[in-house]
Structure 1
Amino acid sequence: MFKTVLVANRGEIALRIVRTCKELGIRVAVVHSTADADSAAVRLADQAVQIGPPPARQSYLSIPAIIEAARLCGADAVHPGYGFLSEDPDFAQVCADHGITFIGPSPRVLSALGDKVHSRGAVVGAGLPVLPGSHTATSTAAQAHAVAEHVGYPVIVKASAGGGGRGMAVVDDPRELAGAFARTRSEARALFGDGRVYLERYLGSSRHVEVQVLADRFGNVVHLGERDCSVQRRRQKLLEETPSPGLSSCLLDGMTGAATHAARALGLTGAATFEFLVEKDVFYFMEANCRLQVEHPVTEMVTGVDLVREQIMIAAGEPLSFGQDGVAPRGAAVECRINAEDPERGFMPTPAVIDAFVPPGGPFTRVDTHGHAGLRVSPEYDSLLAKVVVWAPDRAAALRRMDRALTEFRIEGEGLRTTAGFLRQVLDHPAFLAGTHSTRLVEAMLGRPGDRPEGQ
């Protein structure tokens, strides 16, 4: 087992990893920018290393700074959390070159699945269905028009290196394609340092469902069920739940089977999520995330599996401690993301100082957060403040429990707004209650197409 794990992340996920390391008896260190010097993860860790100023490119995205921090701490493993460098094959390779275990898939798998164009080809080879679209990066407007004419409008132009709902544009009218293509390439270069884009058929009213998998170095692969992530704004998730309402067991079995087959065929190790779009009882592969997901707690709540622990054990060379027959999901779980954003202003971030922070409690109610009174919510980072997660024997009871928990949550500060109130409206929406909603739900609730990617 590892002697010291360095957590190369911040916020609630850094704290989450620190806690599991403590339970495993592993010494744990964290990196931090100057903005996070007094964070909860820093205070709980055995050691902390300041690696740079607030801008992420000078701190959390600086591979040399993190490797030097690992050397100073004597870390023999690095856990990247999610976001930042968690799916960077170069970072994973540099860790290996320095004799440090990267807690995640190999650089080869990260290269294959982290690039969206490459991943389309990789999963097709593994037998997964994909949406009609480009087979390689689309480099000219003429190529884009040819692909769009072949697959049919509407299409979505997507950055190959993109993520988090950014770097994409939906196009309904052929006359708008050239402009959307140019804008997306420019945005991709600015956001991800990679201007490559590709096109896919756009599903206007679909469900977003993902399958959690675990795989060890001995060829053992299991899935831990699926999560429905259809409640989104700007292609970024707001609420996740399991099991997925309103979908047939045959469809869900098809997705979980496809995900485990692909993980095995691609040589995946560690934790990963295969994401699908579902329309009219047909599913299509969208992307794979070879890391921990923000919404992993809902899976933990229904299965009793600590996903961070499993990641660490797999990286340490241990086989999975259970097979597929040992996975027995029970009840229903829901997660709501409490972001420092104003839903009435297009979910614009509201950085501020928190004056009061009182999370909810009660039975089967979990709050993953780094928030506290006095915390300065920085504009430099993601606006996520907390994840409220509840479990109940069935979906109806879980939704009532979540509504109660959101009512209790008190977060106050001058100029601070959060998504908590809006999420209570989602919980009460007829389509959501019936399980007939799609990824367009938030857009419909706000009465404007503001959640569609730019370029429609």
Structure 2
Amino acid sequence: MFKSVLVANRGEIACRVFRTAKRMGIRAIAVYSEADAKALHVREADEAVLIGPAAARESYLVADKVLAAAKATGAEAIHPGYGFLSENAEFAEAVMAAGIIWIGAPPASIRAMGLKDAAKKLMVAAGVPVTPGYMGEDQNPDRLKSEADAIGYPVLIKAVAGGGGKGMRRVETSDAFLDALASCQREAASSFGDDRVLIEKYILSPRHIEVQVFGDSNGEVVHLYERDCSLQRRHQKVIEEAPAPGMDAATRAAVTDAAVKAAKAVNYVGAGTIEFIADASEGLRADRIWFMEMNTRLQVEHPVTESITGVDLVEWQFRAAAGEPVPLKQADIPMNGWAMEARLYAEDPANGFLPSIGKLEHFRLPDDIRVDTGVFQGGEVSQFYDPMIAKLIVHETSREAAAARLADACAEVEVWPVKTNAAFLVKCLEHPRFVEGDVDTGFIGAEEEALVASSLSKFGLEGAARALREHGVVADGNDHWAPWDTWNGPQGFRLNGPSESRQTIVVHGEAHSVAMTPDDYPPATYRPLTAHNGVWFEDGLAFEISAFKQMGAGGGSASDGSLRAPMPGKIVAVSAAVGDAVAKGQPIVVLEAMKMEHALVAPFDGKVSGVGAAVGDQVAADAVLAVVEAG
């Protein structure tokens, strides 16, 4: 066995590989970009080498820099992780040419499976079932359209060199084909430098089933059962599980046998995944599962396979690269219980799932399950790399128990101020369709509105009432609210009529806000919520609690519904837009002045007809910040 390994990658996969290396007494070597100088994988390595600027194309994707780092540190082996150079045959050849052990698929296998059309032809020859479609050399648009017409719509146009959901278009009708083809080809050329495509029959109730395979240099290939990766958003996996729900013994035997045949057809060595598409309209059936592609590397979702088999796939990779045989015979590989993995992304579901970057001022993940992560509290989520910040993995005796435990784990996630998809994951895992196993690759698209809906209304009542007490507004023994001393004394501003000051809490969460006063919710015992510097966490969501003085019924409002600044200050929140229906007392604008926040709220039920300020604006006293019309 080699004594040192360099991981040509970053983040959670680098940390994952280091964990096994250290357990086996192998020296762990990291490479890093300037943006990753303080990253977790650098901290956990025994040695680390800077290889370039933040952009991956100038660091992690530069083979010569990675090789130079390996030579400089005396690394005996290189593990590519996934992504970056992991499926680059030329890099694999360069590693081996330099006398360094390559912990990955043979270059010939990478090439054989790298182009989807060639891979499918190879699979047909090996007796592996493939999806009906066209994989010909003739790329004339008219020929491609005629083939699509013959297959029957809907069809899927896929880039031959594609991956990650890029260069892929679903086409519903013959009339729409040529425009979709042109768009697909442009994206393929831009992403992969190759605009060739293939055409496949689009499966209306598709399930994404994949089989983990493993081969050694003696020609032995085994499988480690299947995973279901059907819960996807825009072709990106969100939640994975093993085994696949609804998979009977006969269907499992058929799909795993096909996977082993596929791996043997390319003389595969190491860890790889054979991906299948299943027509689940009538449940999983052996005659309705077809080869889609092969990933010639370790997969992001490999932990669920490790959980049900008890196998460390990275250790197996090390041993195969060192020339050792597959550690277990097929009959000796167990399948126990049920495992699920959720991908925690730094993204904002309420804002179109846009990535969220910045410093992780507060970062806490569950400590009673397996967590694979590459970040830490105080670290940064960079704009330069994939926004996945952790994988949460559970293993239970049943699918129901696994789903419930993973939902609880996602609900415990606390991240601030970077936004995450934790609450979205909770809703996916608790959705009745998911719980029943009624999922396909279109599940999230069909249910997305409900899955991203804010939970603020639920939290707002309980959390704001608790927040009132946390901020000093408490109930006495007679169930009367005792005022917060800060607000005692002279009453507030008078603007176009008398006003009365009230203490108010606003709970800001996702795209909405809820305002609470002592009168709005009676004192009671509420379940405790975790707090961090004025931020409350519940069910995977983060809520910022703001205490401020509310100016009368309208918060600085005139009788005509105009909300005016009671004093010069800075706008720190605008929670409504023109056309929004608002309720009396609902916060519209929050002004910061004299180190205090002042909410301007709707004076009556109505509709916002004007907004004259934006977050960050400095405004003068009496400036009209918004207007509400009654109705």
Q: TM-score range by the shorter chain?
A: over 0.9
1:310 aligns with 2:316: yes
Match of 2:399 in 1: 395
Task: Identify the range of structure 1 (207-216 vs 92-101) with the bigger mean alpha-carbon deviation.
Answer: 92-101
Task: Identify the range of structure 1 (101-110 vs 340-349) with the bigger mean alpha-carbon deviation.
Answer: 340-349
Of 375, 381, 401, which residue of structure 1 is paired with 2:379?
A: 375
Post-superposition offset of 1:248: 2.5
SS at match of 2:133: coil
Instruction: Give the TM-score normalised by the residue count of structure 2.
Output: 0.69
Whole-Å separation in 1 of the counterparts to 2:135 and 2:161 = 15
SS at match of 2:94: helix
Letter in 1 for 2:298: L
Post-superposition offset of 1:289: 0.4
1:262 aligns with 2:262: yes
Match of 1:295 in 2: 301
Of 329, 332, 335, which residue of structure 2 is paired with 1:329?
A: 335
Q: Which structure is higher in RCO with an 8 Å CA cutoff and minimum separation 6?
A: 1
Match of 2:347 in 1: 341
Letter in 2 for 1:25: G
Match of 2:325 in 1: 319
Provide Cα deviations, 1:271-301, integer angstroms capped at 9, x if missing partner. 0000111114210111100101000000111
Structure 1 unaligned spans of 5+: 451-456
Post-superposition offset of 1:447: 4.5
Whole-Å separation in 2 of the counterparts to 1:265 and 1:145 = 31
Of 441, 445, 448, which residue of structure 1 is paired with 2:447?
A: 445
Structure 2 unaligned spans of 5+: 453-631
Q: CA RMSD in A?
A: 1.5
SS at match of 1:292: coil
Whole-Å separation in 2 of the counterparts to 1:47 and 1:143 = 55
Instruction: Give the TM-score normalised by the residue count of structure 1.
Output: 0.95
Q: Is this contact kept in 2: 1:137–1:160, CA < 8 A?
A: no
Q: Is this contact kept in 2: 1:230–1:237, CA < 8 A?
A: yes
Q: How high is the sequence identity, in percent, across the aligned residues?
A: 46
Post-superposition offset of 1:194: 2.2
1:35 aligns with 2:35: yes
Provide Cα deviations, 1:306-333, integer angstroms capped at 9, x if missing partner. 0011011101100112101111111111
Whole-Å separation in 2 of the counterparts to 1:384 and 1:244 = 24
Provide Cα deviations, 1:148-198, integer angstroms capped at 9, x if missing partner. 012111111111221111221111122221121111111112112222221
Greater C-alpha radius of gyration: 2
Q: Is this contact kept in 2: 1:275–1:286, CA < 8 A?
A: yes
Match of 2:143 in 1: 143
Q: Is this contact kept in 2: 1:152–1:201, CA < 8 A?
A: yes
Match of 1:432 in 2: 434
Greater fraction strand: 2
Letter in 2 for 1:133: G
SS at match of 2:224: strand
> How do 1:175-214 and structure 2 match up within 5 A?
175-214=175-214
SS at match of 1:87: coil
SS at match of 1:333: strand
Post-superposition offset of 1:54: 1.2
Greater fraction helix: 1
SS at match of 1:435: coil
Of 350, 355, 366, which residue of structure 1 is paired with 2:370?
A: 366
Q: How many residues align?
A: 445
Post-superposition offset of 1:249: 2.3
Match of 2:420 in 1: 418
Provide Cα deviations, 1:346-373, integer angstroms capped at 9, x if missing partner. 32211222111111022xx100001211
Of 397, 406, 412, which residue of structure 1 is paired with 2:410?
A: 406
Q: Is this contact kept in 1: 2:160–2:196, CA < 8 A?
A: yes
Post-superposition offset of 1:247: 2.7
Letter in 2 for 1:44: E
Change in CA separation of 1:252 and 1:71 when aligned onto 2, cut-off 3 Å:
same
Q: Is this contact kept in 2: 1:246–1:436, CA < 8 A?
A: no
Match of 1:229 in 2: 229
SS at match of 1:277: strand
Q: Is this contact kept in 2: 1:138–1:199, CA < 8 A?
A: no
Whole-Å separation in 2 of the counterparts to 1:69 and 1:439 = 41
